[in-house]
Amino acid sequence: MLDPAEFDAFYAATRGRLLLQTYALTGDLPAARSAVRDAFIAAWHHWRKVSRLDDPESWVRPHAWSLAQRHHTTRIWHRDKALDDASRATLEALGKLSLPQRKVLLLTQLSSVNMEQMAREIGLTRETAERELQTAAAQFSLHRNVPSPSVRLHLEALGAQISSSRFPRVTIIRRSGAARRRAHTGVGVVAAVAALLAAGAVVHQTGGATPALGGVSAHGDSSLDEPDPATLLHPDDLLTSEQISTLAPARTLKAPVTSNNTGGTGINTVCQEEPFADPQGEATLVRKFALDGEPSMTALQSLELSTDDAAAHTAYDTVVGWYAGCTERRAQLLSTHRLNGVGDEAVLLVLRTWQAPEQTLTIGVARTGALVSTVVRQFQSTREPRLEPMVGLTATAVEGLCTHEAAAACVTTPKAVPIPPPAGVTARGLLQEVDLPPVEGVTRPWAGTGPAVPRANMAATTCDNTEFTSKQISYATTRTFVIPRAKLPKAFGLTETLGRFRKPAQAKKFVAGVRARLNACEDKDLSTKVTQVHAQGDRTSEVSIWHLSTEISDERTVQFQMAVIRRGNIVVQIGFVPDDDHSIGTGAFHELSLRALERIQNLPRR
């Protein structure tokens, strides 16, 4: 049974101090009040654990600060007419400090933590924390135009702005925390019942035999008195420099930088579209690493905690979507692997950005329970990246979370399995901009049209004249990719057309007809040379690639690359028209054709 008297005393003793600190951090009193209230609600929710800490305030404060930073309005004090000039000047001076500098200054001036505790709470080394504190004190004194010894007095003077703030009664805080605990208990019970029903179904299907163990929770037996996974994150939950060093053992790492990602833009890598994959999440930590040597290499881990597993699954899909559908200029998705044996779900993606300086990124995204970890390795080179270190590091990141209350499946034997890329937002089943390779001599990005009915098949050649209008085709779509404002010939571009046949045999016969017409083309058109450069196939799929060259005149020859691809009852034709100075090359077209074969699996079933 939880003792409310202990919590009531803690609430009364610390709420004013925490509100002052949070207000000084953000300058947003409404956001600070809400954040402190919600942090105490969370503390009562987890009081069984929090009360056992040497300093429960060190649990509540990061929670309050994180919540306030997520929801505060930038420079709101400029609009506060009730704010006196001295307080406004203090907030203005604090606002000119970096987020780590503000935190170290407030922790040392407005709390009782020592230097070691301060550095640990912020996620910095002691040396870095001391350096940030010296800079923060000097900069605050400069911007506030006051002597350094008076810094504490000016910060404490902000208390006048919160003196009239009314705090919720402690009974309201405890009631809200208890309701939250009951709500999460209900979720835990539903999940447990579902798991038992599923287990019963398995036993029934196996004739009463005990099934082999699959994924096992990292927690062992769950307890229903504290089932909520939404606990705060700690810097110790992140990868260490020693673990990151496995990416390049011969290199030296600089001191990592850790934050809750609420400072600056919150955008840490190319392709990342928003600061948080789960804007309603409980907490976020980001740690950045820099390695010396050439080519330039950096690494990063982002860790987000959602309110429950379902929200984390959505966040996981969001992160994967950022990279798999990267909108960065001239970004190309090179490969996608599912990581078996890593958490509840995990994937490894390799991307390259061709805009100078060219970068290669390997991204490991994994979810265990309500936690989503993203590990990114980035180096300035186009050499083929080694996947093994990133497979291991993605698994290590999840292993470090296995004892977290929000975790579920841990790590068994990590294995990378090639899979099709995740489906695009539009034109599912067709190639996406992120699939297309760079064009020699062109620095502008590809742009694709929206999918359309193929009334005219621009992917066909004059040799095959393939049409996707047969009654045997139940569904057909096409799209074209061009490079706008690149000063290329009007004919330059790539078109893909897809048709779904009613039966696989019809699709197979259709492809055979295209092949036959191409084989006979040179006899019918003496100005055209047809070369089959690739052919592969099995019972369910096939890929055939041709290079065509047609003499228009004695001075001019038109080149054309074309592929016909089949998977089951789906047929795809790709046609690419280069020019003499701008092409993607035979090898890249081959890889693109194989990607089109993979993309067929993204096509929605009808």
Give mean pLDDT, residues 524-531: 91
Percentage above 70 pLDDT, the chain: 89
Three-state secondary structure of 185-250:
HHHHHHHHHHHHHHHHHHHHHCCCCCCCCCCCECCCCCCCCCCCCCCCCCHHHCCCHHHHHHHCCC
**Cβ atoms of 446 and 481 closer than 8 Å:** yes
Give mean pLDDT, residues 143-148: 92
pLDDT at 297: 96
DSSP letters along 548-600, please? Answer: EEEESSSS-EEEEEEEEEEETTEEEEEEEE--SS----HHHHHHHHHHHHHHG
Query: Where residue 77 falls among pLDDT bands split at 50, 70, 90?
Result: low
Phi, psi of 354 (to 5 degrees): -90, -5
Name the CATH topology of 235-418: Protein Transport Mog1p; Chain A (3.40.1000)
Report residue 10 as tokens: 């803690």
Please, what is the average pLDDT of the chain?
Answer: 87
What angle separates helix 85-95 from helix 126-144, to the nearest 10 degrees?
140
Plot region of 274 (φ>0 → left; ψ -120 to 50 → alpha; else → beta): beta
Choose the weakest-confidence range: 120-129, 176-185, 316-325. Answer: 176-185
Higher pLDDT, 203 or 465: 465
Please write the tens of the pLDDT for every residue from 399-428: 999 888 889 999 999 999 999 999 998 999
pLDDT at 311: 94
CA distance 436 to 330: 9
Choose the weakest-confidence range: 74-78, 133-137, 172-176, 480-484. Answer: 74-78
User: Would you kindly state where each structural domain of the chain is located, as residue ranges?
Assistant: 4-162, 235-418, 433-602
CA distance 364 to 246: 15
pLDDT at 49: 86
Please write the tens of the pLDDT for every residue from 13-57: 999 999 999 999 999 888 899 889 989 998 888 898 889 898 999
pLDDT greater than 90 at residue 156: yes
Pairing of strands 297-305, 411-418: unpaired
Choose the weakest-confidence range: 116-130, 347-361, 375-389, 513-527. Answer: 116-130
In the DSSP assignment, the letter for residue 43 is H
CA distance 249 to 231: 34
pLDDT at 208: 36
Higher pLDDT, 580 or 139: 139
Cα atoms in the 13 Å half-sphere on the side-chain side of 377? 26
Q: Does domain 433-602 have CATH number 3.30.300?
A: no
Higher pLDDT, 578 or 177: 578
Query: Where residue 173 falls among pLDDT bands split at 50, 70, 90?
Result: confident
Give mean pLDDT, residues 429-437: 97
pTM summary value: 0.67
pLDDT at 70: 75
pLDDT at 191: 43
Percentage above 90 pLDDT, the chain: 68
Give mean pLDDT, residues 268-285: 93
